């Protein structure tokens, strides 16, 4: 046997026995799907699963930081998958994490560390994470995670109380939940010794009385049964099969619609549901009907967890399902509905409820019914990749006061929301001063893609990534006022025969670039400069050789004018 210190991760499914009792086949199928997600996250985080039993998972990590980060990723991913199911059928894990001294034997781990992790898991909220004080001390200053101190907790088979913390889970809008503090159960004062004989006497008298009453009642029921002939059982068996949630549409669908509790209950479909339902309304001319597997890769605005869910659980589900979204990235999805109308209504209502909770001004719309896209707007306009590039000569720290084209209220919003937000984050800007920020994604590439999709849908034209995380990733002029986006090929200030040459020369030029023109529209360029002033001087000098009264019209990707 070998002893070691490890971060121990314990997880199991809340209400698993009830889920199995209600629908064993569907629960086991979903458990396998969810476990593949859990196992994948643990492996990617450097963890090792050392024991499993039914719905429970025990894993070890070399680092508390890796264990907590992995637990957060698991809960956020499974929360997305659960969105398609009603609360009564959601499969949510509780996770507990501690650091402790454990004994390794034949690959398994034993000891108080394992036991405490299991007790912390029992303290966690459904879909939540509970950690010990030792874990909190290790990760508090290393991860952008908020905690709620729930104090010392007395737990089963652990002699001393365990000081525990709840992890605040991030919502879709970037805000955090407020974990409910669990108070230790208060101990009931022991009854005085002299009272026990009295209690025993009272209980005995009550038991005798109840027994006599039940005996007399049984005699009366027996006599009544003897006098009444038994009902003849029906000779015709039921012709309606009981369908599981994954059954084909021709079977009777489950009467439980997978939508929010406040939504009205849709009527049960008849046995021949696929023939009795009204035909699907034809999609609008701009929609793209798709047959077969749902094309999850083409869905805009969404994060990768939702995309994984669409490619997996949604695509594999049977009839009467729908998926809704809005430009802000909020989504709603329902599966296994009693009919198509219930699926359409449920998906939109679920999406809109989430959007309203986050005060999103964008309305939700159906994106897909079944595996057919019905979204009327098509793909948003996008610039060609890469969506941003790092240039040490032009990058500088993000400052909301310098954000181009937007007014002061928008700058204040960027200061209050973008600056303190968790990585990765990005802001896209449109040529009409439209902007959209995406916060708290796993990578700068995802935040940039989603910001461009949403901004493009709002603006109607391709937008530009201006800032990623702490930095501006495009040159932000300070000597001039930004007035719009610069497109040399169509800029009317430049004489027509010179535009192609300006486009070619700008090309992939890094550093600071400036364009100046004179009264005849003859351009001068200052390229690959180390700072804004040098680029401006170079552009004016080159322009002066070809034209008169030269002035700067563009710096980097922006058209500019004099500062008022």
Task: Assess if residue 546 is contained within a domain.
Answer: yes
pLDDT-based confidence at 264, cuts 50/70/90?
very low
CA 72-77-81 angle, to 5 degrees, is 145
Task: Assess if residue 408 is contained within a domain.
Answer: yes
Last residue of some domain: 168, 199, 214?
168
* Whether 403 and 462 share a structural domain: yes
- pLDDT > 50? residue 303: yes
Last residue of some domain: 119, 150, 168?
168
- pLDDT > 80? residue 269: no
- pLDDT > 60? residue 224: no
Rg of the chain over all Cα atoms, to the nearest angstrom: 32
d(CA 367, CA 348): 9
105-114 contacts, C-beta under 8 A, 24 or more apart: 105/1, 107/50, 108/50, 108/51, 109/6, 109/8, 109/50, 109/51, 109/58, 109/60, 112/158, 113/6, 113/8, 114/8, 114/10, 114/58
What number of residues does the chain have? 564
Last residue of some domain: 472, 494, 526?
472
14: containing domain: 2-168
Q: Cα 308 to chain center, whole Å? A: 11
* Whether 7 and 131 share a structural domain: yes
* Whether 110 and 157 share a structural domain: yes
143: domain CATH number is 3.30.70.1230
Q: Cα 125 to chain center, whole Å? A: 18
Mean pLDDT of 243-264: 30
Task: Assess if residue 79 is contained within a domain.
Answer: yes
Task: Assess if residue 458 is contained within a domain.
Answer: yes
* Whether 463 and 547 share a structural domain: no
Task: Assess if residue 459 is contained within a domain.
Answer: yes
Q: For the chain, what percent of residues have pLDDT higher than 90?
A: 51
pLDDT-based confidence at 27, cuts 50/70/90?
confident
* Whether 339 and 438 share a structural domain: no
Residue 38, pLDDT score? 93
Q: What is the mean pLDDT of the chain?
A: 80
* Whether 19 and 147 share a structural domain: yes
Task: Assess if residue 210 is contained within a domain.
Answer: no
More confident position, 140 or 237: 140
Residue 176, pLDDT score? 54
Residue 498, pLDDT score? 95
pLDDT 10s digits, 508-556: 788 999 999 999 999 999 999 999 999 999 999 999 999 999 999 999 9
Residue 356, pLDDT score? 84
- Best CA proximity match to 485, nearest among 419, 557, 544: 557
Task: Assess if residue 238 is contained within a domain.
Answer: no
Residue 276, pLDDT score? 26
- pLDDT > 80? residue 228: no
- pLDDT > 90? residue 448: yes
How many structural domains comprise the chain? 4
Residue 314, pLDDT score? 92
Crossing angle, helix 24-44 and helix 64-82, to 10 degrees?
A: 150
Task: Assess if residue 330 is contained within a domain.
Answer: yes
Q: Which of 350-359, 462-471, 495-504 has the lowest mean pLDDT?
A: 350-359
* Whether 40 and 140 share a structural domain: yes
* Whether 366 and 403 share a structural domain: no
119-122 contacts, C-beta under 8 A, 24 or more apart: 119/153, 119/155, 119/156, 119/157, 119/158, 119/162, 120/10, 120/96, 120/155, 120/162, 120/164, 121/10, 121/11, 121/12, 121/94, 121/95, 121/96, 122/94, 122/96, 122/155
Taking residue 56's Cβ as centre, other Cβ atoms within 10 Å add up to 15
* Whether 320 and 418 share a structural domain: no
- Best CA proximity match to 546, nearest among 488, 498, 514, 486: 498
Residue 188, pLDDT score? 37
* Whether 58 and 82 share a structural domain: yes
Residue 209, pLDDT score? 53
pLDDT 10s digits, 49-95: 999 888 899 999 999 999 999 999 999 888 888 887 888 888 999 99
pLDDT 10s digits, 386-424: 999 999 999 999 999 999 999 988 999 999 899 988 889
* Whether 77 and 114 share a structural domain: yes
- pLDDT > 80? residue 221: no
CB-neighbour burial class of residue 383 (10 A; exposed 0-12, middle 13-18, buried 19+):
middle
* Whether 81 and 138 share a structural domain: yes
Check: pTM over 0.85? Answer yes or no.
Answer: no
């Amino acid at each position: 046997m070998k002893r070691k210190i490890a971060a121990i991760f314990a997880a199991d499914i809340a209400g698993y026995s009830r889920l199995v009792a209600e629908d064993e086949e569907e629960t086991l199928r979903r458990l396998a799907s969810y476990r593949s997600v859990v196992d994948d996250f643990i492996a990617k985080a450097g963890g090792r699963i050392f024991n499993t039993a039914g719905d429970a998972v025990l894993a070890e990590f070399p680092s508390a930081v890796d264990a907590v980060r992995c637990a957060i990723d698991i809960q956020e991913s499974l929360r997305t998958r659960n969105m398609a199911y009603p609360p009564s059928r959601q499969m949510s894990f509780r996770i507990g994490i501690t650091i402790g001294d454990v004994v390794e034997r034949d690959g398994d781990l034993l000891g108080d560390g394992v036991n405490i992790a299991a007790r912390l898991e029992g303290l966690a909220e459904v879909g939540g994470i509970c950690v010990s004080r030792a874990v909190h001390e290790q990760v508090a200053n290393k991860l952008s995670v908020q905690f709620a101190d729930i104090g010392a907790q007395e737990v089963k088979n652990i002699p001393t109380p365990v000081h525990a913390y709840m992890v605040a889970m991030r919502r879709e809008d970037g805000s955090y939940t407020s974990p409910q503090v669990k108070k230790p159960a208060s101990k009931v004062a022991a009854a005085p010794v002299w009272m026990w004989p009295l209690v025993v006497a009272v209980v005995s008298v009550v038991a005798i009385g109840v027994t006599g009453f039940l005996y007399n009642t049984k005699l009366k029921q027996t006599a009544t049964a003897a006098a009444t002939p038994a009902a003849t059982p029906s000779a015709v068996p039921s012709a309606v099969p009981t369908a599981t949630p994954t059954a084909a549409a021709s079977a009777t669908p489950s009467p439980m619609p997978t939508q929010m509790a406040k939504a009205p209950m849709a009527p049960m479909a008849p046995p021949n549901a696929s023939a009795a339902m009204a035909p699907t309304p034809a999609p609008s001319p701009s929609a793209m009907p798709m047959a077969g597997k749902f094309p999850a890769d083409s869905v805009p605005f969404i994060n990768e967890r939702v995309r994984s869910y669409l490619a997996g659980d949604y695509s594999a589900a049977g009839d009467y399902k729908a998926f809704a979204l809005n430009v802000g990235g909020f989504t709603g999805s329902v599966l296994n509905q009693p009919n198509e109308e219930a699926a359409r209504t449920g998906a939109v209502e679920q999406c809109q409820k989430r959007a309203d909770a986050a005060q999103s001004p964008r309305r939700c719309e159906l994106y897909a019914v079944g595996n057919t896209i019905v979204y009327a707007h098509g793909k948003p306009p996008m610039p060609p990749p890469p969506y941003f590039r790092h240039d040490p000569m032009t990058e500088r720290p993000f400052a909301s006061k310098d954000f181009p084209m937007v007014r002061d209220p928008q700058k204040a919003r960027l200061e209050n929301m973008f600056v303190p937000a968790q990585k990765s984050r990005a802001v896209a800007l449109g040529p009409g001063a439209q902007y959209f920020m995406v916060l708290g994604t796993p990578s700068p590439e995802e935040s940039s893609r989603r910001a461009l999709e949403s901004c493009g849908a709002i603006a109607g034209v391709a937008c530009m990534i201006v800032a990623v995380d702490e930095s501006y990733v495009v040159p932000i002029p300070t000597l001039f006022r930004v007035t719009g986006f610069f497109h040399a090929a169509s800029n009317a200030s430049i004489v027509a025969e010179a535009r192609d040459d300006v486009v070619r020369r700008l090309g992939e030029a890094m550093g600071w670039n400036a364009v100046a023109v004179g009264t005849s529209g003859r351009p001068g360029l200052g390229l690959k400069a180390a700072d804004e002033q040098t680029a401006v001087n170079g552009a004016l000098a080159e322009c002066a050789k070809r034209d008169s009264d030269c002035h700067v019209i563009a710096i980097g990707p922006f058209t500019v004018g004099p500062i008022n």
